[in-house]
């Protein structure tokens, strides 16, 4: 079974530029998450989708971050304009339901962003 | 106060040692609890769930104390391959089934 796919794996940009990350979850997984993991910290939830609807985006900096999940499958996360503090690994995860029953999220390998 | 707090370590232990990690959570409405493992520069993966009665999976034992809002993970007979960061994860149902991760505790098992 194919896992969660993410691209690009690495991205280096200058501050104030824009960047977009793509995620393809495991087939059949209704719930999709974007997490931000800064070096030395645990993953922080940015946004959670159930199918193509947003369940939780309370920690998404909406002045610069946006995410969408059209057709309830693939998702993109965009940052515009980027700041130095956005340097992090952006992890996409998916689960069959909300993750509440088993707690098992399946993560992609992440997209490592460096903002100079 | 952070929602989920862990000692970041690192814990450096010799092979064969027993090591314990602790985690505290702030939301008393939290319903379910997990330990994830994250290898260096890799993605997190579920290690085990934590049940109220405590549970064991081979060399790993997880325990929950709801009254103290405290979770623990015990690793017996540690192996070199156990070297990783262990993330405490809490699901606060009142928060919309959102999984909140701790900062992780780094374990290094040495010869």
Instruction: Please report, in angstroms and rounded to a whole number, the separation of the first and last CA atoms in chain A.
Output: 37
Average pLDDT, chain A: 93
Of residues A116 and B53, more confidence is placed in A116
Sign of CA dihedral B31, B40, B10, B107: positive
Residue A101 confidence class, pLDDT cut points 50, 70, 90: low
Task: Please list, in sequence order, all residues whose beta carbon lies within 8 angstroms of the beta carbon of residue A67, skipping any fewer than 6 positions away.
Answer: A34, A46, A47, A49, A57, A60, A75, A76, A77, A78
Q: Note the pLDDT of residue B93.
A: 64
pLDDT of residue A1 exceeding 80, the answer is no
Of residues A51 and A97, more confidence is placed in A51
Q: Note the pLDDT of residue B98.
A: 76
Q: How far apart are CA A41 and CA B4, in angstroms?
A: 12
Task: Please list, in sequence order, all residues whose beta carbon lies within 8 angstroms of the beta carbon of residue A94, skipping any fewer than 6 positions away.
Answer: A4, A25, A26, A29, A31, A32, A33, A105, A106
Of residues A97 and A15, more confidence is placed in A15
Q: How far apart are CA B8 and CA B97, in angstroms?
A: 25
Residue A70 confidence class, pLDDT cut points 50, 70, 90: confident
Q: What is the pLDDT of residues B83-100, one digit of tens each?
A: 999 999 998 765 456 789
* Nearest chain B residue (CA) to A88: B41
Q: What is the pLDDT of residues A3-22, one digit of tens each?
A: 999 999 999 999 999 999 99
Q: Note the pLDDT of residue B40.
A: 95
Q: How far apart are CA B97 and CA B33, in angstroms?
A: 12
Contact: A107, B43; criterion CB under 8 Å: yes
Contact: A100, B102; criterion CB under 8 Å: no
CA A8 to chain B, closest CA, distance in angstroms equals 15
Q: Note the pLDDT of residue B29.
A: 85
DSSP-derived secondary structure letter, B94 = G
DSSP-derived secondary structure letter, B88 = E
């Amino acid at each position: 079974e194919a896992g969660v796919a993410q691209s690009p794996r690495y991205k280096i940009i200058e501050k104030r530029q824009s960047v977009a990350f793509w995620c393809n979850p495991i087939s059949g997984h209704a719930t999709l998450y974007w997490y931000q993991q800064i070096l030395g910290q645990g993953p922080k939830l940015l946004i959670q989708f159930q199918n193509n609807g947003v369940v939780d985006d309370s920690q998404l900096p909406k002045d610069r971050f946006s995410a969408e999940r059209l057709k309830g499958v693939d998702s993109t996360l965009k940052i515009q304009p980027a700041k130095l503090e956005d340097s992090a690994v952006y992890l996409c995860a998916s689960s069959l339901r909300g993750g509440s029953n088993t707690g098992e999220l399946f993560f992609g390998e992440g997209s490592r962003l460096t903002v100079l | 106060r952070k929602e989920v707090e862990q000692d970041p370590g690192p814990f450096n232990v010799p092979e064969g040692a027993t090591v314990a990690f602790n985690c505290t959570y702030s939301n008393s409405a939290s319903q379910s609890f997990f330990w994830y493992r994250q290898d260096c520069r890799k993605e997190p993966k579920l290690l085990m769930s934590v049940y109220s009665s405590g549970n064991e999976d081979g060399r790993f034992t997880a325990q929950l104390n709801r009254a103290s809002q405290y979770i623990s993970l015990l690793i017996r007979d540690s192996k070199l391959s156990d070297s990783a960061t262990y993330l405490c994860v809490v699901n606060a149902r009142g928060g919309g089934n959102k999984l909140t991760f701790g900062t992780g505790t780094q374990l290094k098992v040495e010869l």
